[in-house]
Every structure is written in structure tokens, then in C-alpha cells.
Amino acid sequence: MSTSEYLAFIPLLIYGLGLTNLLGEWKRIFVWKEIFIPYTFMTLLLTEIGVYNVFIYQRMLAKLEGLSYVNYLLFLIVPILYYLATLVFTPEQGDNTREHFIKRMPLFYTLVALLTASNFIFRLEESRYVNISRIIFIAIVALCGFTRKIWLTYVLIFIWIISFLMRGSVIAV
């Protein structure tokens, strides 16, 4: 096993924990009294973001060879922010989905903005349109968190769908 494969274990584990936490909440999508449309779409959005980050992770494996410990810690920022966002996002058992979502909007959207911004730490070879949509996404995410306007969540979902369509053709290297 190479050094990069060995060092990749912890970030992938952290993504796995976040996805496990999030996928456990998919049950709320199928319980009529728990359905809250913005929460449902944000669940899908967070799931896709986690899977996409794992998918593109293989592009960064070569960067792990000869990496210093401090740079490795920087490398962990993205998965840790993802995991924290999923923890803040998911309600406890018995909590009302809508109330939890609205109550946690400032913290959740702050973490999502930081998560999105942290993707700029690593210079990935992505379309500039992906980066432009990421910057717009960060601005709207920040607005969502501070204003708690649900309609802005729908704007985010629209941008995410556009971004998804642009990223859909990314090929594993």
C-alpha cells in the first residue's frame, strides 16, 4: 500500500461517517408528517455533495505523496466540514423536521458555505463555470443562513441542479 493510499483512509472514513449520518435521515423523506420540502432537497444535495467529494478525491491522492503533517491536516478540512454539516443538519430522533431545520439554518448554512469555500484550497482542474457557480452558491448560502428565508433554499437547490448537470460529465482519472 502506498503512502497516499494509507493517508486517504481517514478522509474517506470521515466522508463515510457523514454519509452514514445523512443516509440514516432519508427515512424522513418517506414519512408524510415529517416531510419538509427544503429539508428533503437539502438532504439530496448533501448526499450528492458527499458522493461527489469522494468521487473526485481520487484526483487528490497523488498530492498526498510527500505531504507534510500540517498540509495533511489542511487536507482534512473538507471532510471534517462535511461531517459537521451533516451533524448539524440532521435532527435528533423525535424532533420536528421543519422546526429543527429553521432553528439550525444559521449554523448549518455557515458550515455549508465554509465547506463550499474549502474546495478552493485544492486546485482541482474543474471548469471555471463550476467555480463561478460555487462562488454564487457561497453567497446565497450565507444569505440563507443569516436571513432564514426558505425561498433562498429553493434558489440554492436550483443552483445545485445546474452545478450537478455541469459536474455530471466529470470523469474519474
| pLDDT value at 3 more than 90 | no
- The residue behind cell 423536521 is 97
Quote the pLDDT of residue 173: 58
Q: How far is 37 from 42, CA to CA, in rounded Å?
A: 8
Averaged pLDDT for residues 110-120: 90
List, in sequence order, the alpha helices (H) in the chain. 3-7, 9-23, 37-57, 69-75, 77-89, 97-118, 128-147, 150-167
CA 12, CA 6: separation in Å to the nearest integer?
A: 11
Instruction: Count other Cβ atoms within 10 Å, centred on residue 24.
Output: 11
Q: Which pLDDT score is estimated for 124?
A: 62
Indicate if the pLDDT at residue 155 is higher than 70. yes
Most confident of the following: 45-49, 89-93, 163-167: 45-49
What is the residue extent of each domain of the chain?
3-167
CA distances from 91 to 1, 30, 36, 97, 114 (A): 39, 15, 12, 7, 21
The pLDDT assigned to 171 comes to 67
123 has pLDDT over 70? no
Q: Is it the case that residue 64 has pLDDT exceeding 80?
A: no
139-143: long-range contacts (C-beta < 8 A, 24 or more apart)?
141/109, 141/112, 141/113, 141/116, 142/109, 142/110, 142/113
High-pLDDT (> 70) share of the chain, %: 92
pLDDT of residue 136: 86
Is pTM, for the whole model, over 0.85?
A: yes
